Every structure is written in C-alpha cells, then in structure tokens.
Amino acid sequence: MFIKSFSKKPLILNAHGSDVLVNTKIGKLIQKLVTPIIKKANLVVVPSEYFKDIIYHKFSINKEKIFVSPSGGINTQFFKPQNITKDIFTIGYVSRIDKGKGWDTLLDAVSLLKEKGLVFRVLIIGGGSEEKLLSEKIIDLKLENIVQYVGVKPHNDLVNYFNQMNIFAFTTRRLEESLGLVGLEAMSCGVPVVGSNIGGLPGYIDHEVNGMLFEPSSHHELSKYIEYFMHLDSEELRKYQINSLETAKKYDSEKVTSDIINIIKKVLNEKI
C-alpha cells in the first residue's frame, strides 16, 4: 500500500554516501525495507559516476533512470586563479583531520621527500578529532619547519589558500567519498590534484592529464607523484593547470543547477 501511494506521482530520490554504502545491521535492514521504493523511482540522483554504478548493480535499476548531479557543483566565478607568486613549492591539504581522511598518509609521504633533501612546504587546513595526533606526528617526523597547520578556515577564505598551492593532495581512504567538491574547487583555481584512486575521485581526476591517482594509503606512491610535479618545467605544469581549469568548468554550479532542473522537468512531463 505504501509503495502504491507513489504510483500516481513522480518519485525522485537522491542517494549518496552512507545512504548507499551501509555497513551496520540497522542500515542494512533499512536499506532492505526501502529497496522496493528505490526500484519504483522515476529518477535516482547520485553525485558521481562511481555511485551510479553502485546503484545500478545493487538495485538493478535502468541506468537511464540514474542521473549524475555533482552535489550542487562549485562556484567557478569565485574559485579562480589569483596572481600570487609561489616562492616555494607548496603541497595543500584541505579536509577533516579525522580517521580515514589520509592526513597521516600525506605526512608519511612528505617525510620521504624531506629525506631526499627537496625544498617545499605543506599547508594543512581543517579540524577534527585527530588534531592532537596530527601535531604529534609532525613532531615525530621532524616536519615542524615544513608543515604549516592553520586549522579550520571559513569556506570563502579557501580560494586564497588554494592559490598558494602548486598541487592539492586529496588523500582520503573512504569509499563513501561521493565526489569531493574540495578537489574541484582546487582545480577551479588551476591547481592539479593528486588524489586517492577511490570513491568518486577518479570521476574527475584524469591521471596524467589534470592530476594523478595513487593507491589509497600508499605514501610511497603519493610521494612519487608529488616529486613528479616538483620536477615539471613551467610548460608541462601549465598543461596540468589548464586541464584542471577545464575540468572544473564542467562542475560549475550554474550548469549543474540547469541540468538538474531540466532532467526533473523531463521526468514530470513524462509522468503527466
């Protein structure tokens, strides 16, 4: 009876993160109960191609009924390149300082780079439950003169920090990383992204085109790719920067909004 109540009206669902990748008994039970509703949906909106594949295989839904809309997109008019001189190669990190976010992978990677005598700095922005562990690890690895931890910053301040970076390190180990808009905001400032080959990140990080993908948790591989960018000449680096900007344009918030409105109108017209 509950499902039948939806039959006369279009049913549009939004699915992402832990909605789909459940790992608790209660979560699995709830998902089992709502599966018939999901199968009845006229449209299921997901944030990335990664989640589109999951929805398709888990619920056997026609792919034409699954629409990718990247979580509202990004403001490319605000997040854009600034004329900032970079006196030292800067690796940026903007994320929670929590378990599974990979801040520790980044520190282990830059420790290897330090051992090679390379000159650089690391800019870390964010807060979380593992801030104390972060500070302790920085001291243990003797990175105090390399790592600059500035804590949590307002979202609107991030554009200034992105523009100080040569590359952005997206080191998450979480499958439920549905898209990762922060990586796209970095790209919108012309900053290539070195990101984990996991979740929604491979949907926009094109290996050796606008960034690099590394095996999650592999600080050796991460350090290799960071060093690769350190040694690029200006012309080669410019190609990565241009490709990053072009990628970001595809996720512009105005375009994303227009696309989702059009697909909803289409569903409504087909149902009427």
DSSP-based three-state secondary structure for 154? coil
Kindly state the percentage of the chain with pLDDT values over 70: 90
Average pLDDT for 234-251: 97
Residues 172 and 198: beta-carbon distance below 8 Å: yes
Is 139 domain-assigned? Answer: yes
**Residue 128 shares a structural domain with residue 241:** yes
What does pLDDT average to over the chain? 90
**Residue 147 shares a structural domain with residue 115:** yes
Model pLDDT, residue 7 = 55
Integer CA distances (angstroms), 253 to 2, 40, 48, 79, in order: 35, 29, 15, 11
pLDDT beyond 80 at 6: no
**Residue 144 shares a structural domain with residue 242:** yes
* Greater pLDDT, 39 or 5: 39
**Residue 65 shares a structural domain with residue 178:** no
Model pLDDT, residue 20 = 66
pLDDT beyond 50 at 43: yes
Model pLDDT, residue 272 = 54
**Residue 204 shares a structural domain with residue 190:** yes
Residues 11 and 41: beta-carbon distance below 8 Å: yes
What's the pLDDT tens digit per position in 115-166?
999 999 999 999 999 999 999 999 999 999 999 999 999 999 999 999 999 9
**Residue 222 shares a structural domain with residue 137:** yes
Integer CA distances (angstroms), 257 to 203, 208, 263, in order: 19, 30, 10
pLDDT beyond 70 at 248: yes
Average pLDDT for 171-190: 90
pLDDT beyond 50 at 2: no
Q: How many other C-beta atoms can be found within 10 angstroms of the C-beta atom of residue 191?
A: 27
67 CB-side CA count, 13 A: 21
Question: How many structural domains does the chain have?
Answer: 2
Residues 23 and 175: beta-carbon distance below 8 Å: no
Average pLDDT for 170-185: 87
Model pLDDT, residue 168 = 98
**Residue 98 shares a structural domain with residue 229:** yes
Range of the domain at 224: 90-249
